[in-house]
Structure 1
Amino acid sequence: MRKNKSELYYSCLLLLLAFWSSTDADITTTDETSTLTSAINQTIESTLSSTTETITTTTKGPNRTDWSHITKCPSNVQCNLLGPDCIECPGYTINCIYGDEVAVTCTAKPGLNCTGPEQFEKRPICRFCYQTEPWEHTCTDTTNCKVVNTTRTSNPRGVYISNCTVKQHILCLGHRTFKKRRKCNWTSGYRWSTTLIL
């Protein structure tokens, strides 16, 4: 548990007072009191300093590399053909200008067995994944698209929520999987093909 400086000071002071009262120590002069106060302050400062260093070291931890990408990435492929899960492009951030093509230097993630230069240039468009064109992502279809209860004026064809995933070769910002409203391809609970047969 982390304590602030005043709580720590108060706790140390109470402990010292309890110790001296139990050992019948007699502090009578102001010189002894100021010396004791100075010693307590130094102890608190050194304790706080070492505690802060310990917390920083523990929180930061050693420099670890995430190796989960190795199972997702192919082997013996040209490095510049690897997908976004297999490369790092530190220059491709949300600070780019939306809609512009961005020239970024990318590198293959550590531990991958790819051919050619491990550092290469990519030119993605500055946009979030949910802003990609329909042909750049795939979405799940539904068989539960019933439009009977929709009003024809506000929602003539009906919509459903679909889960979409950006295709592997597309670089984009944010989450690669997102939800999207899609129009139904059939009405009244039946597909157009079923309606034609009836």
Structure 2
Amino acid sequence: MRVHTRHTPGFGVARVLLAPGEAVQAVAETLLASSFNVAETNQNRGRKGGRSVFTAPQEGGWVDLAPLGPGDVYPLELTGSTGWSVHRDGVLARPSTVRVDQNWAPLQQLFGADSGFLEHYSGRGPLLLTAPGPVDSFDLGRGEIVTVRPDYLLAYPDTVQCRLRALDPSGPQSLRTGEGLVLDFAGPGTVLVQSRNRRVARA
């Protein structure tokens, strides 16, 4: 699977090039167009936001994917050696070689028994991310620390240490959305952020 992007960062579209028989999973409504004979298998038929698997025919093919709102698309190349924690609203598509680690221990320690605003991905291949604004990054040296609001966070690798804390312990907080919380990151590693607030952009 290879990815070419266009119209970034304002109205990004990703062309996903598939080898013969290769497949990619994406939200069904994000399919803009495809080459002839690409097969679609809908995993959540009839439900908005349901995911489909798009499989190339014997001669290979492509699919064009467009996020449901304006913003950037960003191919994050996973090498197999390091996993990434990604905002649950930040994934546009993934190949079968990249998996979601549902019970990844560090996220369970971060959120406890609650379902938090992050998911963990590992494997090899391009994980296609989407953001309501241009993607930016903080390249942290060893021991260097930065604080990020959850509404602006996109992804960070396993090499980065992460701490979740309340802005105001007496104020409202949500592990599901990140409201009232901040994340402290310590390097080494790269923290990917977006330049627009996710909740404001969705309003």
> Which bin holds the TM-score, normalised by the shorter protein?
under 0.3
Higher percent of residues as strand: 2
Larger radius of gyration: 1
- Give the TM-score normalised by structure 2: 0.18
Which structure exhibits the higher relative contact order, with contacts defined as CA atoms closer than 8 Å and separated by 6 or more residues?
2
